[in-house]
Each structure stands twice: as C-alpha cells, then as structure tokens.
Amino acid sequence: MSPRILVSFSPLRKRATIGGPMRMLAAAGMKSRIRGSGGGGSESDRSGPRNGRLMLPMWIILSSSLCLVVEGQMKLSPETVQKWAVSFGKEISALSTRYSGAKLLQKKYKDIEAAVKIEEVGGEELAKKFAEEMEEMLGRKMKSVKRLAEAAEDADLYHQYNETLMFEYFNSMLINTVDGNGNPLALGGDFALEKNEHFNKLPVNTQLSNIQVPTNVYNKDPDILNGVYMSEALNDVFIDNFQKDPTLTWQYFGSASGFFRLYPGIQWIPDENGVVTFDCRNRNWYIQAATSPKDVVIVVDVSGSMKGLRLTIAKHTINTILDTLGENDFVNIVAYSDYVRYVEPCFKGTLVQADLDNREHFKLLVDGLHVKGEGKVKDAMKESFKILNEAAALGQGSLCNQAIMLITDGAMEDFQSVFEEFNWPERRVRVFTYLIGREMTFAENVKWIACNNKGYYTHVSTLADVQENVMEYLHVLSRPMVINHDHDIIWTEAYMDSVLPTTKELFNSQAQSLLLMTSVAMPVFSKKKETLSHGILLGVVGTDVALKELMRLAPRYKLGVHGYAFLITNNGYILSHPDLRPLYKEGKRLKPKPNYNSVDLMEVEWEDTEEKLRTAMVRGQTGTMALDVRASVDKGRRVMFLKNDYFYTVINETPFSLGIVLTRGYGQYIFIGNVSVEEGLHDLLAPDLTIASEWTYCETDIDPAHRKLSQLQAVVQYLTGKEPNLECDGQLLQQTLFDAVVTAPMEAYWTALMLNTSGMEEGVETAFLGTRSGLMRFQRYAGVEKRIGKSFLTSTDMENMFTLDHFPVWYRRASEYPAGQFLYYTPRRETRDIFRDCEADYSATLSEEEVELEAEEAGRIVIATTAVTVTVGKKTAIAGAIGVQMTLDMIESKFWAIASQPNDTDCSDIDGICPLRCDSFDIACYVIDNNGFVIISKERTDAGRFFGEVDGSVMTTLIRMGMFKRVSLFDYQAMCKMNLHSVNSARPLLSPFYGLASALKWFLSNFLLFLLEFNICGFWHTDHFADAKPSFSVSSAHKKRGDMLQPCDTEYPSFVYEPSVKETNSIIKCGRCQKMFVVQQIPESNLLMLVVQADCDCSRQYSPITMEPEEVKYIL
C-alpha cells in the first residue's frame, strides 16, 4: 500500500496541517491527498466488520513501528512558528511604514481625491494619435531624402565626365593624420571635429561631409574622383535638411562606384589591420533601394572539375549573392553534378524568404558542399525554371523580378532547348552567369546563356574578384527602374547602429532595442539623354532614423505601469519592442545576435498562439484584441499574470505597424489634478527631487543651444519663462507639478527622521518614492561610506529608475500587490541572468573585485515597496509607489532575535520541541519571498538564491502540496552553446530523413575519432551526461566551436506562491531519516517563514530545483 500525505484545511484560516501520529507515518511517501475539514467518513468507515477484524493485527504492527519512528522523529510546533511569523511581520511592517512614510503619502493623495478626476485611457485613440505623429516624423525624413535625390541627379546632369580630373577631397580615413615628416597625407588635411550630443557624442563636422572609400577600391580612380566632385553639391542640401529638421541624424550618398559620402563628416577608424571593409553597396538600404524585390534561384556546379580553389570561389560567390538579398526577396539553392539536388531538401520545389535566418542556414549548408561526378547543367536549369514558374503561377514569392544565378566552370551540353521551352520569347527570367576559375574554354557558352536571357556574364578567377563581380547583377536589375524613373522610397528592417556605447552602458540599459536604427533610402538615376536608355544607376541616398527617437512619440506615462508600444514591419519582424534583446556577449566581446533583426512578433508576444495579432498587423489592419499573458520581470526570475489589451494600426506611407499595450487594472485609468505653476515650481526645485531623464518633458534636441540641458533644467527654464520657445508636453508637466506638490511633505518627514539620530535604526539606508509622472524623491539616511547599497538609485542602476521603456522594477512589482501592504525582495545577485544572452552579463567589463563587490552588495540589501493609489467613485488609479532600502544584516538581526524561544519558556502547552531556537545546529530557518527566493538564512551565501537550489526536498513538497506553482516561460531569443555536431545556427529546418542521416554520419565519424584517440583513464573519469561534453578527446577547433553561442529557444521556470494557503507542515521520508518542516505566511507581506529539521539529509532522494533554462529541442 502506498503511503499518502493527509492534509486538512480549516475553513476559517485555510491552514494545512498534518494531524496525529498515523498521518506523520503516512506522510513519508509524499503522495498528497487534500481533504476538506467538513468531509465525510474515511475509507475504513465503509470497510465493514470483517475487514475491521482483518485490520486489527495490521494496526498492532503499525502502531509498534510507529512508536519506533516517533521516538527518533523531531517535532516542530506550528504554533511557535506562527507566533514568530506574526511578530516578525509586525516588526518589519512597522519599520517599513515608519522609514518610508507610506501612510503619510497615501493620506496626502487621499486628501486630494475630491479635487481630481479619473479618466479611462482610450487605447484606440492613443494608437491613432501616436501613429499620426510617427507618420508626420517619418514623412519629414522622406522629404529630406527626396531633396537629396533631386540634388544628386541635377548635379550629375550638369557634370561632364573628365578622365584626367585631379581633385582633392576629404577622405575620412586620412583626415587629421600626418606622415613620418609631419606633413598631412594626400586626401587628408585638417578637418575640424567637435563632439556633438545629437550624434552619440561623437566628434563630427556639421559644416561638411566627407568621403569613405573601401580598402579594395582605389581612392583616386577616375570614376571615384568624378563621382566625388559631382556629389560635392550635396553638402549644401545636407546642411539645409538638418536646419529644417534638427531631429535628422546621419545623411548619406552611396555611389555605385563604391565611395560613401557621409554627413556630418567624421573620422573613420580602420580595423586593427588598417582595413576598412565597409562597402555601402553591400548595405541593405542600398540593395533594397537599387533593386525591386526579386526571386532568385542559385544554381551551383559541384561536378568533379570544381574541386579545390574553384569550389572555394563558388562558395564565396554564393555567400556574397546571399548577402545582397533582403527580407523582401525569396531564394533557393540548387546544386548539380550527375543529378540535381537541393542544398536544403526541406525547400524542394519552392522559394523561401531571404531573411537572415534562412540566409545563414543556407551558408552553413553551402559550406558542406563536396564535388564529384560530371556536370549536367540542363537538368538543373529545368528545375530552376520550374521553381520560378510555379511561384509566379501561385502568386508566391516577391511577384516582381525573377533571376537564376548560374555558378560554374563551364557548360558543355546543348542547353538552348531549355530556354526555348521555359523562357523564350518573353525572357521573363533573367539569367546571370559566373564563370569560375582561370580556364576560359567554355567562356563563350556561359556568356551566351547570360546574354540571351537578359542577364550579365562575369568571369571570377580569384576570391578578390567575387565582391565587385557579384554587385554587377544589381545594376542590371535596376535598369527597368532607371528607365521608368521609378523613385520608390524604401524603409529597411531594424539594424544595429555601427557606433555603440560601451559594453557596460549597454547592459545597464534595459532598452536594447532602442539602440537600433531604420533607414529610408531612394535610388539616384542618371537623367542625361545620351545614357537614359541604358538605365544608369548613380547610387542611393538615405538617412537614418533612430528608433529611440521614434518611440519617444509614444510616451510611457500615457501607457501605465506595465503598458508599452512596439513597431513591426510588414513581414512581421520586430522593429522596436521593450522585450527585444538584440545583443549578447561572448567572452568580453559585445555582439549583435545573428538573427537580431529578424525576430518575429510571435517570438516576443508568444502568448498570441493563434497569430491573430501578428496576422492583423502584417496586413496593415486597425483593431484591438485582449490576451492573458505571463510577463516576466527581474530578467526572467519573476512572473506576473496580466490581462493586456492590444491596440494596433498601420503607419501610413511606411511598411510599419504600431501596437500599444494597456494592462487592465491600473493601466486602464489616469487621474488629472491641477496646481498653479508657482506652487508646483517651488516644490519642483527641492533638492531631493528628480524626473525621468529619458522621458521627454521638453524637446531639447531641436535647438542646438538646448541640447546640453537636462530634462529638469529644461522644464524649469520653460516654466520660469527663460526659454518660452521650448516645445514641452503640457499634460506631462501638469502631472509632474501636481505630484511635486502632493509629495512635497515627504522631504520634511524624511529629514526629521534622519535628524533624530537617537531613534534612527542602523541599517535603514534610503527612503524613496516614484510617481506616474516619472518624478522621484529619495532620502539617504546613511552616508555613502556607510551604505551597503551604494549603487541603489544611482545613474548606473537603470533597472530601478524610470527609463524610456519601463517603470522601475520596485514600482512595477508594487503595483501588482495590494496598496498599503509592503512587498519585500532582495535584488538579483547573480551575474548571469535567466535569459541566455551572455555568459556573465556585462560584468566581464569589470574587474574581479568590482564583480564580487556588486554581487555582494546586491545580495545584502532588502527593498520594501508598496503602491499608492487614488480612488474616485469606483475607479482606482495608481499614483505611485514608495519604499525603503535596508541592509539585510539589520533584517536578519531582528529575525534571529524573534526566532528563538528563551530557555525559561513555559513548554507545558507546546506540542513539539521546546524551547525551539533557529540558531540550533539541527534547525534551519528561512525567510523566502513569494517567488521562492531566499531572503534570510543561516548561510549568508543563500540570500538571493532560489530556495529550490538550497533545499530541493522541501521545495518539491511545497509544489506538490500546491503552496507554490511552477510556471513555464519561454525565450525565443536565447543564445546556447553550440553542439559539436550541430549543422544549423538558425532555426531547425531539417527533414526527418536528413536529420537521421546527419545523426548517423555524426555517430560514425565520432566513433572513428573515439577509436583513434581512445583514452581509458579519461573515459572512465568523464561525466558525459552532466557536462554535455564528449568523453573522448576532440580537436581544439571543435572545442572552440563548442564554446560558441548560437540562437536557440529555451524554456525556463518561475515559481509563484499560492496566497490562499497561509500555513502548512509536513514530513518527508528520506531513506533512514525523516525531515519535518513548518511553513507560515508572514502577515501583511509577501514573505514566508520556513522552519526545517536540518539533521536529515534528503539530497540523495531529492535533487535541487533550479531555474536554469533548458533548450527546446524540436523534432521535425
């Protein structure tokens, strides 16, 4: 018979207890049964007299056994633990209330309820208003680009090409540099540079543009000199555009000949080898503007004659072609020798979107191509035409240009019949041919194929030839646009700005997606009559739009505590989203993730399982929908259950759609109050007050004279009339002034406490508050030299500050807890977060001492926070949050003082150990929060850890009993270490048969390696399964690859306390001993007290419960 835990619940207090010796014995097996206190008879009531007689001998045996068990079994008194919990709860509540001043602040907001009104936030109106403002802003960028295109075409029209032109220009690599004799370098010279706040604090010249030329392009080539001379006319237009729209960032002209004119001018820094690999013609904005969307089938010859260098060149050619494709293009790759095969069997007979994931996937597969057999191009061409014809017939693919890229060292067959059957006379599909190698025997055949199918023929004899020769096809595909003079404006997907802050700054910022840019670009054509029929593309003009500036148009204060705005492209990819994490760190190097700009909306809003939201937004629709979501805070360690309303609409004249999210509850309402400017300004100037530096109270980026003003300085200048021309947000200023007045008494309250040194608790360090307007006040009770939490609420502590994309974590957590009750937690002390973005977070940029100090500081402070609300009628809006930061040492000292019964305790009425003391060697006492994280423990290093890692047996029991619930969360932007046998760094796309063949191939190759390098000693001592490392020696190259990170999907747990269960106790059987524990909720808090028998080791029977993410493996 399997033993069971019998748990009873009191109908009044919902207290779960284990009663009587029989239940203690039954608890050993850990199989729970919940029984209500008013339940019916037991199973034995229905057993009848005969069964009762049979059970009598069994009862005698069990009773005798029970006596032996109970004699060796420790018993903990739930009543004692309950008294401790009540006392500790009162102690910390009084402490938090006194030093935060929460009751005073709530009273101040209560007093003004009669003078305020609460309005419901209109999500549809907000989305429409934000979209209109974004459309206006992006429209200004498009006008600037059109002016540049017109100026460039006019300049070319009146420029006469001069083969012998001698012209000195400012080369961005050579400016302000001298030779060994101290003389300026040619194409260099003095170029004034000054740091500019608007351009990432880079040294720039806002009066001139300058020229960047790739290392592989001769900087004095006649084409370069003529193009640079002609484009000098753009300087005045650059400056004029910037004056008309001061929010413009970089403006540029990318020439078809290879040079790049950039405004404002900067000094271009080459890599460590003195090389500049940047070529504007490879950039997505150039390629998309220069050509229309296209369907491309790449056909590569892998016959025996392509071995060696030819195959290497062919692979590089394929990769270069793939780099010229974007998410509006579609592609497939076919390899041929004696037979035709697809490099990716899953894509047989179809075209796939050329997004970053698929392009990288193709590159990996191309890298594994091998040669053998005889080349039969005829069948390969037939298959390619079938793919393109079927796509066109079914309305799939780009529905625009179609092309075949043939990469071969020769064509011997009679292939004319293929073109007659599939492509002539319309010649709808262009064929581009790349002859590989120095051999020219079959050059005429390969050239004939291209010339008779409206394509282009190139000869690629070395790796250095690949780049320039591949780019030629773009000019051919652009000819129809040039001839028709189609000036289509394009917008790119999000991409990483090439000028990044330091690693530490990036990882301090929660808004990584706001580091991204999008570009608007437009082609520039020759308007000369003599060349008009040839369709000559001169280049592409464009400008960047920082997504940070775009998202400022959806201000945080209008969206509530958990609300946010996001943007996606018409392909469903994220343009901006607070949960987009485009960066990761490998070692000490900060890198964009391989697929950072092709993260789908479904991978961020993953609760949208039916893709309704994504589908509607991709189609450019306007509407609304609701979703129940699991939102994580504290980098995935904690979960909140929210009901979100989504409002979405298209941004006209762009391929983008805007979505905003409002959370039901506090996010539904906003309250409005009025005070005079004089009264509000007086309180706004208080020394303890700050406002959100990343929010836009006043626009300081329009007038260069305002760019050095902080937001608080700008507000004061505007309100005092010193800068009446500043553009300020009237509604936000009104809320800020109102909050400044209402919260003003807190300064005097906190100061009085601090001055009363005799009554000041040592260990209370900082009192703080924040309001919905981004206003913050805080009081340091302890000097910086004495504070443990030195970084708390400093400029580096972005998680606890108001930023462009989130409210402080203490504000967000408090808002989901009853107002007036304090929520306690210790900040995260791990240097590695749940999200697998990096191996050690940004801490790799710090010294070991700094890392240890930061981790120690985080684990040794406690934050107590509570919400403050305003209620009018039946509507409640959150006004702010208030709290206090204390040292963990102080909280611990109060706990240990309470959790010890003195030796003279009257134990007559106590059933269990008496006196019970938490400092006993055989007792372990803990205080944990509602997510299971340890706050207090005998072991100092336990603070901040998940309790399941400390005691897996007790946490397992609590989960089984329903006191804690495990919640699964998913991360579709994770980075995992690459498996040695992995063939795919993108999403899994392999067919079952291909996967089976790959696994078999991997097994055979590694088994052979095992036989060759077998080491019996190493094999015996290697834990293959624990470390996921091979038990045999591998090459250093394999080891290095095994340490690399690649995109992956992970599932990770979070744990949530069920508050209806106030207390419980149980016994866990662990081999030869039993462990008893008692759990008691600490009143008026989110904390639990645990008292555990510590002399019974259950680690063999119960593994630790960790929050480590696990990679999701897909079976296709």
Token readout for 534 is 């040839």
H-type helices in 786-943, by residue range? Answer: 809-815, 848-859, 888-898
**In the numeric block, which tokens belong to residue 607?**
């609760």
Cα–Cα distance for residue pair 298/406, rounded to 1 Å: 6
677-684 and 711-719 helices, crossing angle to 10° = 150
Measured in whole angstroms, the distance separating CA 301 from the mean position of its chain's CA atoms is 41
**What is the SS3 string spanning 725-775?**
CCEECHHHHHHHHHHHHHHCHHHHHHHHHHHCHHHCCCCEEEEEEEECCCE
DSSP secondary-structure letter at 499? S
352 CA to centre of own chain: 26
Taking Cα atoms as reference points, which of 1059, 1110, 1052 lies closest to residue 1086?
A: 1059
Residue 358 vs residues 266, 325, 344, 995, 998: alpha-carbon distances, Å: 35, 11, 10, 17, 19
Q: Are 677 and 575 in contact (CB under 8 A)?
A: no
Intervals of the chain under pLDDT 50? 1-72, 500-510, 831-833, 836, 838-855, 980-999, 1001-1002, 1005, 1008-1039
List of residues 6+ apart from 910 with CB closer than 8 A: 77, 79, 80
Q: What is the C-alpha separation between 495 and 574, in angstroms, rounded? A: 11
Tokens found for residue 859: 């684990």
How far apart CA 517 and CA 512 sit, in angstroms, is 11
The predicted-structure confidence for 1043-1102, as pLDDT tens digits, reads as follows 678 889 999 999 999 999 999 999 999 888 899 999 999 999 999 999 999 888 999 999
CB contact set of 489 (below 8 Å; sequence gap of 6+): 142, 145, 146, 520, 521, 522
- pLDDT at 915 (0 to 100): 81
Say if CB 674 and CB 699 are below 8 A apart.
no
- 942-953 burial, b at 16+ Cβ within 10 Å, e below that, comes to bbbbbbbbbbbb
Spell out a b/e string for 209-234, using b for 16 or more CB atoms within 10 Å of the CB, else e.
bbbbbbeebebbeebbbbbbbbbbeb
Q: How many residues does the chain have?
A: 1116
Q: What is the reported pLDDT for 865?
A: 97
Contact 361, 351 (CB under 8 A): no
Both tokens assigned to 113: 């309820």
The tokens for 804 are 């462009």
* pLDDT at residue number 277: 80
Among positive and negative, which fits the CA dihedral 245, 246, 248, 250?
Answer: positive
> Omega before 1083 cis (within 30°)?
no
Q: How many CA atoms lie within 13 A of 1115 on its CB side?
A: 0
Q: What is the pLDDT of residue 859?
A: 55
pTM for this one? 0.82
pLDDT of residue 783: 84
Sheet holding 5-9, edge to edge: 16-17, 5-9, 32-36
Q: Which two tokens stand for residue 192?
A: 């004034």
Q: Do residues 92 and 927 touch, judged by C-beta distance below 8 A?
A: no
Taking Cα atoms as reference points, which of 720, 731, 714 lies closest to residue 671? Answer: 731
Cα separation, 675 vs 680, whole angstroms = 6
Q: Which of 277, 313, 286, 333 is nearest to 477 (CA)?
A: 286
Give the pLDDT of residue 850. 47
